[in-house]
Each structure stands twice: as structure tokens, then as C-alpha cells.
Amino acid sequence: MSDDTSLKSLFEDYGYSKAEVGERKAQIWHDIFEGSNKFYYQNSDGTGYVMDTGNNDVRTEGMSYAMMLAVQYDRQDIFDSLWQWVMRYMYMTEGPNVHYFAWSVNPTGTPNADGPAPDGEEWFAMDLLFAQSRWGNREGIFNYGEWGRAILKACLHREDIGGFPMWNLENHLIKFIPEVEWSDPSYHLPHFYEVFARDSNGEDREFWKQAAESSRDYLVLACDVETGLNPEYANYDGSPHIDERDHWHFFSDAYRTAANIGLDTLWNGSLPELSNRTSALQEFLETHDSSVVYDIHGNPTQEHVLHPVGLIATTAQASLAARLSTREGSDQRARRWVAKFWSTPLRTGDRRYYDNFLYAFAFLALSGNFRRY
């Protein structure tokens, strides 16, 4: 595993100064948590939440993302405010989804859903394990490591509590939701599973080690070899999952996949097949109208991109892998995407929540500040 205290800054390699990188990093935190464009809100009781400004709800996705930013920025106060809100309003204590988190909740605390989204659980677990390493454990819900391990246990072991696990226990692949047998490529976080293999309960460490390998193999299948595009939802063989949900194109969730490959490369080194897929993606998006939604083979659909800033950010973060590709022109293409991202401001308006989270993570990764604790 890489030395997380001395991660490579691609920004500095590409000529941006440490001072301007630091200034932009501080501005990102301010815009999300403090400024007039923020979407973090704190209640009088000390709990805090982030609003999905496009859907006017609070999601496990966003809460777990905000907790990760709090760890990376060393803001334990914000982390604790978010985690208290999660445990008070999202944690389910009964029913088939006991010990999971309701994926959508009204800002008043009333649940909009009685089921989870597995990407929330894996991010919560990672947030908590990092918090343990960075700040140490306290008592109750602030025994971060104990809660991180409890979440991972609940994701796999449902024998005595009912419901469905979040991973297929045979092929080690994460599911879209627990009760189905297909996946979402952007949920696959092999770089997280490497940490789970280190810090989870002993009996599960071998599972997480295999999950990291299986997810990397899966991403090779899910990302088209020619275009680098991947579907939002996919079957276990990597092919687009086609059903009434209509999410088999390269659409909003799917943007995160290349960013995840970039961060895995930063933390664990490159996998040539995935570096080539991300380079193919950068080439495709550079040479096609990036406001249009495409199927994974590069055919345009009738839809248009809802999160253009997020798309730029994640494609730039993919440079961490794409620059190592054997495809012709990969390094220069990676530089152009980083430059494009640098010149792109944070988003304003109703859809700023998703775009600006992706922006923040891309910036941390490209500046060497998305650290593994």
C-alpha cells in the first residue's frame, strides 16, 4: 500500500503551484460547508446534514460524502455533527433492513425510503475507519472503528437478522440494492475494500481482499474497450442491465467509475487494462459532444447531461490512471483534462450538490490530498 502521507500531486507535476492548489482546496470547503453556495446545514441541537439540492432530500450518498470530506479536511466537529444526524434519522433498527441506513430522508428527519443504497454503507464504513485512524475512538456512536466494522458485518452477515446482504457472497460483487442480483459499476471501490481487508473483523478480511480483486476484474468488463464508457446499472458480467429503470447508458452515476479507478491507481498502483479504459474515455469525451448522453458503444441518445461539472471533474480525476495508459497520446490528453478541470468553477444552482461533491473529490485526488488513513 502506498505511503498516504506523501501522495503524488498531479497538479504540481503539471505546473500548478502549491500555494494556488492550497487556496483552491480551502475555497472548495468554504463553498460546500460555509458560503452562500453551501448545501451543509447545522441544526440548533448540533446535528448537521447536506441537502441534495436537485431533489430536496438528504441521502446516504451525500452524508457519507460529506463525512469523507470532513476526515480529509480534519474537521472532526463537522464529521460528528453529520454522523449524529445519520444515526438519529437514517439508521434502521427493525425490519428486514435492520442495521442498514434509509437512503433518502426528508430534511426534517422523516424517512422517504425504508431501504438502503449500498454505496452509502460502504462510504460510511470507510469514513468511520478513517476517522478511527485519524482521531481515535471515543464512546457510543463516536467509537468510530466499532461502528465501521459493525456496518461491514451487517452488509455481509444477515443470517440471524434477516434481509439480504449487500454483496453477492459468491462472486464478491456489490449489488445495486440488497434484494437484486445485479450491480452499479460506480459502486465498485476496490481501493476501499483493500482498507476493509486491513481493518474489518478478522473473519471477513479474506472476503474483502477478494472483493477488491473481483471489482477490478468487473470494471474491466463494465467499461467498453473502445469508448471507455460504462453503464449506470450493469449485470454481473459487466453488460448493461436493461429494465424498467432505464439506466443502461453512460449517465450520472456512471461518471464516478473513472474517478474511482483514478483513486485506486493513486493508492494502489495501476492496472493496465483500467488505465487503457480511462484513457479511451478521455479520448471519446474529448472528441464528442459532452452535453449528450451516450450508450456505452458511443451512440447518442435523446437525453442530455445533467451534471456537466461532475463529468469534467471525474474525467479529470481519471487522469491518475489514464496518463499511465499505453494508448497513443494518453499523457497529453490527461494533462488537457486536468487543465480543463482547473479552469472549471464549482457549480451554482439547484444541481450543485452532486457536481460539487465530485469536484471536491477530484481536487483532493489530483492534489495528492485524498489520503488513506
Annotated catalytic residue: which of 253, 264, 283, 355? 253
> Sign (positive/negative) of CA torsion 120, 202, 167, 160?
negative
| CA proximity to 177, closest of 120, 265, 117 | 117
- Burial-class residue 24 by CB neighbours within 10 Å (0-12, 13-18, 19+): middle
Using an 8 Å Cβ cutoff, are 249 and 295 in contact?
Answer: yes
Q: What is the CA radius of gyration of the chain?
A: 19
Catalytic residue flag (residue 253):
yes
User: Cell 474517478 belongs to which residue?
Assistant: 259
Annotated catalytic residue: which of 31, 61, 122, 127? 61
Alpha helices by DSSP H, 272-369: 272-287, 308-317, 319-322, 330-342, 352-366
Those residues whose C-beta lies under 8 Å from the C-beta of residue 245, and which sit 6 or more positions away, are 233
With H, G, I as helix, E, B as strand and everything else as coil, classify residue 116.
Answer: coil
With H, G, I as helix, E, B as strand and everything else as coil, classify residue 149.
Answer: helix
- Please list, residue by residue across 187-221, b when 16 or more beta carbons sit within 10 angstroms of its beta carbon and e when fewer do: bbbbbbbbbbbebbeeebeebbbebbebbbbbbbb
249 alpha-carbon distance from chain centroid: 19
Using an 8 Å Cβ cutoff, are 267 and 4 in contact?
Answer: yes
What is the H or E stretch that residue 50 is in? strand 48-50
**Which residues belong to the active site?**
61, 253
